[in-house]
Amino acid sequence: MKETLFSGIQPTGELHIGNYLGAIRNWVALQETYDCVYSVVDYHAITIEYDAATFPARIMNAVIMLLACGIDPRKARLFVQSHVPEHTELAWVFSSVTPMGELGRMTQFKEKSEQHRQNVNAGLFTYPVLQAADILVYKATRVPVGEDQVQHIELTREVARAFNARYGAMFPECQAIVSKARRILGLDGKAKMSKSLNNYLGLMESPEAMWEKLRVAVTDPARKRRSDPGNPDVCNVFTLHTFFSPPGEQEYCAKECRCAGIGCIDCKKILWKNICAELAPIQERARTLQADRKSVEDIIADGARRCAITAQQTMCEVRHALGVRW
Ligand code: TRP
């Protein structure tokens, strides 16, 4: 019996190589080892202001990109969070065993309530409770996440402990799997890659558009002229090489950079070639799926159906433990 693994991604619109390296590529690899449940978490995304009219397109796009990147519905259950209402039902139960003080300590809550001062709603505050419900409704024990989510996984363990202490052993204590590509910096080499900062390479961008962005991407700031030797250790473009380029080309670029044998443009061209080679088949699959919405709808309907079997079973146990059923 494989261990159950859960992870979720917000439907942010255009996905970029930061999402790909930080999450999706690992999700694909983990499908071989675990019983994977992957969700597009639409109900988390409504805690900040968003456009309801374009939300369906964002959700569908996220599903399509996950499939295009290699999430295989025969290996993993792929679904949209709101299609399995037990998530929100369990979140309500969990909110009654979660201390307010714990939620107030969450870094993401503090950051988001700074960023969205005009809309600090209760959903933003209880966001980690819904996340705990996402994971525990499947009694998942493994959760691949970025570094910024580790605190929420710790909270999930506390929620499980609090529930078990009050109602009897039901939920396991889950462990985060923190990916190596914890924090992919944007092309500015400074901030985490994000859509809002416009420092990203989108997964669906054309090779030409990607080159225009890569060409001006920040490298080793101390390397001012072509004749200056550079330091790959502090170069964000080199970091991207470590994720996209074969070892031989990584070594070549590092060595030739240190002795000014090649310039930043040469180095970027090699990176560009490798990124394009990895993304080309993904883009092709995405275009095929975009033209075949019916299959995509069928895949998430089937994913939700298979998730509901587990989620309904858990909720049945929970209701009995709570004493609202007998
Ligand atoms: N909060 C996560 C993020 O912003 C997304 C998410 C929601 C999630 N529910 C989850 C991740 C459950 C892991 C497990 O990235």
| Residue in 196, 240, 242, 203 with CA at minimum distance from that of residue 218 | 240
- In CATH, what class is 207-286? mainly alpha
> How crowded is residue 183: how many other Cβ atoms within 10 Å of its Cβ?
14
Question: Can you tell me the mean pLDDT for 216-235?
Answer: 95
What is the residue with the minimal CA distance to atom 11 of ligand 1?
8
Mean predicted lDDT score pLDDT of the chain? 96
Please answer whether residues 306 and 74 qualify as being in contact, where contact means their C-beta atoms are separated by less than 8 angstroms: no
Angle between helix 236-244 and 264-290 (nearest 10): 50
User: Residue 310: pLDDT band by 50, 70, 90 thresholds?
Assistant: very high
Please answer whether residues 160 and 153 qualify as being in contact, where contact means their C-beta atoms are separated by less than 8 angstroms: no
Position 195 scores a pLDDT of 87
Position 49 scores a pLDDT of 94
Strand order in the sheet with 142-145: 77-80, 35-40, 4-9, 142-145, 175-178
What are the CB-based long-range contacts (under 8 Å, 24+) for 307-311? 307/37, 307/77, 307/79, 307/84, 307/138, 308/84, 308/86, 310/137, 310/138, 310/139, 311/84, 311/86, 311/87, 311/90, 311/137, 311/138
Token output for 172: 């396991």
What is the residue with the minimal CA distance to atom 15 of ligand 1?
9
Token output for 237: 């473009």
Mutate to test the pocket of ligand 1, among 16, 36, 44, 183 (most ligand atoms within 8 A of CB): 44
pLDDT, tens digit (0-9, with 9 covering 90-100), for 285-298: 999 999 999 999 99
Helix H or strand E segment including 114: helix 107-115
User: Residue 170: pLDDT band by 50, 70, 90 thresholds?
Assistant: very high
Number of DSSP helices (H) and strands (E) in the chain, helices first: 14, 5
Domain locations in the chain as residue ranges: 4-185+293-322, 207-286
Report the pocket of ligand 1 as residue ranges, CB < 6 Å. 6-8, 10, 41, 44, 131, 134-135, 143, 145, 149
Same fold, 4-185+293-322 and 207-286: no
3-state secondary structure of 175: strand
pLDDT, tens digit (0-9, with 9 covering 90-100), for 182-222: 678 999 999 999 888 999 999 999 999 999 999 999 999 99
pLDDT, tens digit (0-9, with 9 covering 90-100), for 56-105: 999 999 999 999 999 999 999 999 999 999 999 999 999 999 999 999 99
Measure the CA–CA gap between 144 and 301, rounded to whole angstroms: 24
> How crowded is residue 74: how many other Cβ atoms within 10 Å of its Cβ?
5
Question: Can you tell me the mean pLDDT for 211-236?
Answer: 96
216 — phi, psi (to 5°)?
Answer: -105, 10
The catalytic residues are: 112, 192, 195
CATH, range 4-185+293-322:
3.40.50.620
